[in-house]
């Protein structure tokens, strides 16, 4: 996208003959494009840049760059670039140990906003998009104003926007002051011609050009733009900030996407294991149902068998249980029972012994008796009586594999 005579123009790269016109973008009330329509290259008008040429008595690249920086700062054109690149330096020529260099500085006051439709990849200033005649003063109209470009050989050393919409005697007087200043600085290199790339010329203005500069004044059709061999490194502050914001947004979206993927992975893993467990439970239920169809009466028969033990197995009679508990009570054991309680699922033995060791010995004998192996014994520590010296104790045996107590 490039500034034209009265409005902005779109140019499209052709397959053979370079760029071709592609229409004009819509603009707002002050002439600013409202959309770049996806343009890859944006050319700033001359009014949006300053040209700062300087002869530097050195050919050292660092010395030349430093001198240009000082000159730009001296002219009060240096600003905080804020992450952008507003200054472009280039060498025009070198001779006799000297360097003619040019600093092009973007004028941020003319860069208040950028059109939508995507951020361009490359930024240029319009004079650098044209094949310029050598050692010439080239005049054309740009967005309703006359612009002037002075070349040394085929390189621009100065450019500026004039105050006139057409080339008049007043515009020629303004140009005389510009060329006088460049001549005093040794920048013009010998003006050979004035080239008009516009028809916005008054007859008096063209005559004034010939009289003022004493060189031929020629009219030519303005050429189509073409990209420079070396792209400019301009990066306006607003674009730099927009790119940082876009990168930050992209990073946020990427993190959000990764978080969503992690969430989906966790949810998928949870779902997989949940489904696996459900399928395993269903498989076990199927196996259980299959086994029940074959041996469904096992549990009921087991309960019946355990119930029959109480009346068919002599070892389970109450009297037999009492005998098994009391058979170890020999006269020398010094232990006597004070209470014996028989329940279908439990035995409670209460007694006393001559001392605590004998009580413990008796408790241990119950838990080791093979005839009482159907019980799990809960033994409490014997308690001694200080008055009588006897030790009382209680042992509770719980029947293993007992039938549940019916409510």
Are residue 164 and residue 137 in the same domain, yes or no?
yes
Q: Which has more confidence, 319 or 378?
A: 378
Are residue 156 and residue 116 in the same domain, yes or no?
no
Of the CA atoms within 13 Å of residue 196, those in its CB half-sphere come to 20
User: Is residue 16's pLDDT more than 70?
Assistant: no
Closest alpha carbon to 193 in 233, 151, 161:
151
Show which of 224, 254, 281 is a domain's final residue.
224
Q: Let me know: does 136 contact 151? Beta carbons within 8 Å.
A: yes
Q: Is residue 239 part of a domain?
A: no
The structure's pTM equals 0.61
pLDDT at 33: 84
Q: Is residue 405 part of a domain?
A: no
Locate 281 and state its tokens: 């439970």
Closest alpha carbon to 2 in 53, 52, 54, 37:
37
Closest alpha carbon to 161 in 174, 151, 170, 152:
174
pLDDT at 187: 81
Are residue 10 and residue 103 in the same domain, yes or no?
yes
* Cα distances (Å, whole numbers) of residue 268 to 65, 225, 264, 265, 272: 60, 57, 6, 5, 6
Are residue 124 and residue 164 in the same domain, yes or no?
no
Query: For residue 93, what pLDDT band results from cuts at 50, 70 and 90?
Result: very high
Residue 141: strand, helix, or coil: strand
- 386: domain CATH number is 3.30.1360.100
Average model confidence (pLDDT) across the chain: 86
User: Is residue 286's pLDDT more than 90?
Assistant: no
Are residue 108 and residue 140 in the same domain, yes or no?
no
- 186: domain CATH number is 3.30.420.40
Q: Let me know: does 398 contact 378? Beta carbons within 8 Å.
A: yes
Domain region containing 277: 245-296
Q: Let me know: does 119 contact 243? Beta carbons within 8 Å.
A: yes
Contacts of 324 by beta carbon, 8 Å cutoff, 6+ apart = 315, 369, 371, 372
Dump pLDDT digits (tens) for 48-80: 999 999 999 999 999 999 999 999 999 998 876
Q: Is residue 231 part of a domain?
A: no
User: Is residue 330's pLDDT more than 80?
Assistant: no
State the average pLDDT over residues 29-34: 80
Are residue 98 and residue 9 in the same domain, yes or no?
yes
Are residue 67 and residue 169 in the same domain, yes or no?
no
Show which of 129, 163, 186 is a domain's final residue.
129
Q: Which has more confidence, 326 or 246?
A: 326
Are residue 112 and residue 217 in the same domain, yes or no?
no
d(CA 369, CA 359) in angstroms, rounded, equals 16
Q: Is residue 206 part of a domain?
A: yes
Q: Is residue 266 part of a domain?
A: yes
Q: Is residue 235 part of a domain?
A: no
State the average pLDDT over residues 83-101: 91
Residue 156: strand, helix, or coil: strand
Are residue 98 and residue 147 in the same domain, yes or no?
no
State the average pLDDT over residues 167-176: 95
CA max distance for the chain: 154
Residue 200: strand, helix, or coil: coil
d(CA 212, CA 288) in angstroms, rounded, equals 113
Q: Is residue 194 part of a domain?
A: yes
| E strand or H helix at 367 | helix 356-368
Q: Which has more confidence, 122 or 314?
A: 122
Are residue 37 and residue 79 in the same domain, yes or no?
yes
Are residue 63 and residue 36 in the same domain, yes or no?
yes
Show which of 76, 109, 129 is a domain's final residue.
129
pLDDT at 167: 96
| E strand or H helix at 341 | strand 335-343
Locate 145 and state its tokens: 């104003």
State the average pLDDT over residues 391-402: 88
State the average pLDDT over residues 240-259: 80
Q: Is residue 234 part of a domain?
A: no
Are residue 116 and residue 29 in the same domain, yes or no?
yes
What is the number of structural domains in the chain?
4
pLDDT at 136: 95
């Amino acid at each position: 996208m490039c500034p034209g005579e009265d409005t902005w123009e779109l140019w499209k790269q052709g397959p053979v003959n370079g760029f071709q016109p592609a229409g004009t973008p819509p603009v707002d009330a002050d002439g600013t494009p409202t959309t770049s329509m996806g343009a890859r290259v944006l050319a700033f008008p001359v009014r949006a840049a300053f040209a700062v040429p300087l002869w530097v008595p050195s050919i050292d690249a660092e010395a030349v760059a430093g001198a240009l920086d000082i000159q730009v700062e001296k002219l009060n054109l240096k600003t905080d670039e804020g992450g952008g690149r507003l200054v472009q330096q280039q060498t025009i020529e070198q001779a006799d140990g000297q360097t003619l260099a040019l600093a092009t500085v973007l004028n941020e006051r003319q860069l208040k906003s950028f059109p939508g439709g995507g951020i361009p990849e490359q930024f240029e200033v319009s004079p650098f998009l044209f094949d310029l005649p050598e050692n010439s003063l080239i005049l054309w109209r740009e967005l309703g104003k006359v612009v002037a470009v002075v070349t040394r050989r085929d390189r621009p050393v100065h450019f500026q926007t004039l105050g006139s919409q057409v080339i008049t005697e007043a515009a020629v007087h303004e140009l005389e002051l510009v060329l006088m200043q460049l001549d005093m600085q040794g920048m013009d290199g010998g003006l050979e011609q004035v080239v008009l790339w516009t028809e916005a010329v008054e007859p008096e203005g063209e005559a004034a050009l010939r009289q003022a500069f004493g060189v031929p004044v020629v009219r030519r059709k303005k050429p189509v733009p073409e990209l420079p061999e070396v792209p400019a490194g301009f990066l306006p502050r607003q674009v730099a900030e927009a790119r940082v914001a876009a990168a930050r947004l992209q990073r946020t979206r990427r993190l959000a996407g990764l978080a969503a993927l992690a969430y989906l992975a966790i949810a998928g893993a949870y779902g997989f294991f949940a489904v696996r467990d459900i399928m395993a439970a269903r498989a076990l239920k199927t196996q259980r149902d299959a086994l029940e169809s074959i041996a469904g009466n096992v549990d009921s028969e087991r309960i019946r068998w355990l119930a029959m033990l109480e009346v068919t197995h002599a070892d389970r009679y109450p009297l037999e249980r009492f005998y098994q508990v009391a058979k170890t009570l020999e006269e020398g054991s010094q232990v006597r029972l004070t209470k014996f309680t028989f329940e279908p699922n439990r035995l409670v033995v209460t007694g006393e012994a001559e001392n605590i060791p004998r009580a413990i010995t008796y408790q241990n004998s119950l838990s080791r008796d093979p005839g009482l192996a159907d019980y799990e014994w809960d033994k409490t520590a014997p308690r001694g009586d200080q008055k009588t010296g006897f030790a009382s104790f209680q042992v509770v045996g719980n029947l293993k594999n007992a039938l549940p107590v019916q409510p």
